[in-house]
Amino acid sequence: MTTTTEFDAIVIGAGFAGMYQLICLRDRLGLKTRVLEAGDGVGGTWYWNRYPGARCDSESHSYQYYFSRELVQEWEWSERYPQQPEILRYLNHVADRFDLRRDIEFNTRVTAARYDAAANRWHVTTAAGEEMSCTWLITAIGCLSSANVPNIPGLADFKGDWYHTGQWPHEGVDFTGKRVGQIGTGSTGIQAVPVIAETAAELTVFQRTANYSVPAHNAPLSPEFKRYVKEHADDIRDTTRRTPNGHPFEIAQRSVWDVSAEEREALYEKAWEKGGLQFRATFQDLLVDKAANDTAAAFLKGKIRSIVKDPATAAALADIDHPYAAKRPPIDSFYFEAFNRPNVHLVDLRSKPIERITANGVKTSGAEYPLDIIVFATGFDAMTGPFMRMDIAGRDGLKLKDAWAAGPRTYLGLQVAGFPNLFTVTGPGSPSVLCNMPVCIEQHVEWITDCIAHLRANNIATIETSDEEAEKWVAHVNDAANATLLPMAGHSWYLGANVPGKPRVFMPYAGGMLRYREICNHVAARNYAGFKFGT
């Protein structure tokens, strides 16, 4: 590692996005690039989220980089849905294979970044007080990296241990013989419950909002499937680039109303047997027609009631208040089955909310639950949270916090007006969390790289969008969301509703990855329409 503090480009974050951005800028464009990473290793999401049962909900053969044919050929996944340690091994392999570590500064949290217009440089400050500067500043900070520990009164009084799933201790947590309370039943909580239940003496699950879940049917990959992936790598890549959510399966063209009720039930049953996020692809109108969605919702609620033996518990788990997949739909490995174990109990917070945390456990308006360990599976301050914990100031000292006071405003999710030469990989307003992440990351990183190459080739010093363009794009993002049922889950983190006081704005772009890619390509082809160049 050199001691230079002046760079062409600084990339914040060394997860999937930051690592590929380093490869592109350093190895393809020859830029002097530095990556700053808060953790002591690469991996981003997969570095921090080490909770029991942490697993990817995208199928392994689609949850990887496709930019290098050699890399695709040499890596082999072991399971249909890879576990956190395997994904972290993969990302470490990529770091080694492309010799990335020499340009990544670990244990380095960026606290501030300030644009100096006179010098046309970004000045970046780290928690340790280091200062460095660059022309191009790229955030690769993840959409779900700012843990949300709810401000429940009394947490400081709790005598036991508590953990947030997104900041899990590297040495793990031993639940043996312990009374564990888990707050939260999103994708994370649904993965964690069955695994914690195996060793905990008692597991009490505090549910505020009941959730759908479809079985993952995870299993080791067969030698035939592994061979298929290698032989059809290009086809798989092309499929993920063609489908709206970046997954390796097509959405059926039929409508719920094209088939009879019996046929529909049989198709849902088949999709349930296959498992995974593909359930959403059974019909093309599940996310746009509420009555169509109701048929899937009824099927899935029926499954919960058929799995969970205690009728009161089954009723509370199936009492779901939003359309299927309007919130990010979880997939699971024996989540509902876990409630048939004698050591797992459900507490429905809807009628009796948590009042406080006491020295001994969690107190709801109904009872106090004595606990040794509390697990917060309470999600993230999504998409904007990672930006807001840095002090970012653009032209004329404009603070990002102020620019986004009423919610994030970007052009294409790639740039913010008033912040020249700052690019935001998978920023708010891009498909990001509505897409299989490696697919949208590769698209963003390649677009940014091509853009910087274009600017350098044409001696253009700055690129910057305008308020008008951002306003138009935000309106388009809203229209895209409103054309779907997604806004009907009023408490979803897509809307920022899980964090008290956060502006309710639909943040990801719901128009589909294919359409988004075409828009970005079109913008670039029209000499970066919507951006202003400065010399």
Contact footprint for ligand NA7 (CB under 6 A): 144, 150, 152, 183-189, 206, 208-209, 328, 349, 354, 377-379, 433, 491, 493, 498
**In angstroms, what is the minimal distance from the CB of 32 to ligand NA7?**
34
What's the burial of 479, exposed, middle or buried (CB within 10 Å: 0-12/13-18/19+)? exposed
Q: Which is nearer to ligand NA7, 246 or 394 (CB)?
A: 246
Whole-angstrom distance, CA of residue 365 vs CA of residue 456: 62
Backbone angles phi, psi at 173, to 5 degrees: -130, 130
**In angstroms, what is the minimal distance from the CB of 350 to ligand NA7?**
9
SS (H, E, C) 503-517: CCCCCCCCCCHHHHH
Length of the chain measured in residues: 535
Closest CA to 336 of 320, 354, 356, 359: 320
Structure tokens at 417: 């007006």
Structure tokens at 238: 């092309």
Q: Which is nearer to ligand NA7, 152 or 308 (CB)?
A: 152
Q: Which is nearer to ligand NA7, 150 or 487 (CB)?
A: 150
What's the burial of 402, exposed, middle or buried (CB within 10 Å: 0-12/13-18/19+)? exposed
Closest CA to 506 of 479, 478, 484, 485: 478
Q: Residue 455 has what DSSP assignment?
A: H
**In angstroms, what is the minimal distance from the CB of 489 to ligand NA7?**
8
Closest CA to 276 of 192, 212, 215, 193: 215
Cβ-Cβ contacts under 8 Å for 409 (sequence gap 6 or more): 403, 416, 417, 429, 467, 470, 471, 474
Whole-angstrom distance, CA of residue 81 vs CA of residue 88: 13
**In angstroms, what is the minimal distance from the CB of 131 to ligand NA7?**
34
Q: Which is nearer to ligand NA7, 188 or 484 (CB)?
A: 188
**Structural contact between residues 386 and 146, judged by C-beta atoms closer than 8 angstroms:** yes
**In angstroms, what is the minimal distance from the CB of 235 to ligand NA7?**
26
Whole-angstrom distance, CA of residue 468 vs CA of residue 472: 6
**In angstroms, what is the minimal distance from the CB of 45 to ligand NA7?**
8
Whole-angstrom distance, CA of residue 130 vs CA of residue 133: 10
Q: Which is nearer to ligand NA7, 347 or 390 (CB)?
A: 347
Longest dimension (CA), the chain: 69
Whole-angstrom distance, CA of residue 151 vs CA of residue 498: 12
Cβ-Cβ contacts under 8 Å for 311 (sequence gap 6 or more): none
Q: What would the DSSP string read from start to end of 217-262?
A: ---BPPHHHHHHHHHTHHHHHHHHHHSTTS-SSPPPS--GGGS-HH
Q: Which is nearer to ligand NA7, 162 or 228 (CB)?
A: 162
Q: Which is nearer to ligand NA7, 94 or 434 (CB)?
A: 434
CA distances from 452 to 28, 35, 137, 418 (A): 11, 17, 11, 18
Structure tokens at 178: 């312990």
**In angstroms, what is the minimal distance from the CB of 450 to ligand NA7?**
28
Q: Which is nearer to ligand NA7, 394 or 496 (CB)?
A: 496
**In angstroms, what is the minimal distance from the CB of 149 to ligand NA7?**
9
Nearest residue to the partner ligand NA7, using Cβ: 186
Q: Which is nearer to ligand NA7, 189 or 431 (CB)?
A: 189
**In angstroms, what is the minimal distance from the CB of 148 to ligand NA7?**
7
**Structural contact between residues 299 and 261, judged by C-beta atoms closer than 8 angstroms:** no
Q: Which is nearer to ligand NA7, 302 or 490 (CB)?
A: 490
**In angstroms, what is the minimal distance from the CB of 377 to ligand NA7?**
6
Q: Which is nearer to ligand NA7, 185 or 484 (CB)?
A: 185
Cβ-based neighbour number of residue 165 at 10 Å = 26
**In angstroms, what is the minimal distance from the CB of 437 to ligand NA7?**
9
Whole-angstrom distance, CA of residue 103 vs CA of residue 106: 10
Structure tokens at 113: 């970044």
Q: Which is nearer to ligand NA7, 36 or 383 (CB)?
A: 383
Strands 161-164 and 531-534: unpaired
Measure the CA angle with vertex 272, ends 269 and 278; round to 5°: 120
Structure tokens at 177: 């013989």
Q: Which is nearer to ligand NA7, 108 or 218 (CB)?
A: 218
Q: Which is nearer to ligand NA7, 86 or 391 (CB)?
A: 86
3-class DSSP state for residue 75? coil
Cβ-Cβ contacts under 8 Å for 222 (sequence gap 6 or more): none
**In angstroms, what is the minimal distance from the CB of 209 to ligand NA7?**
3
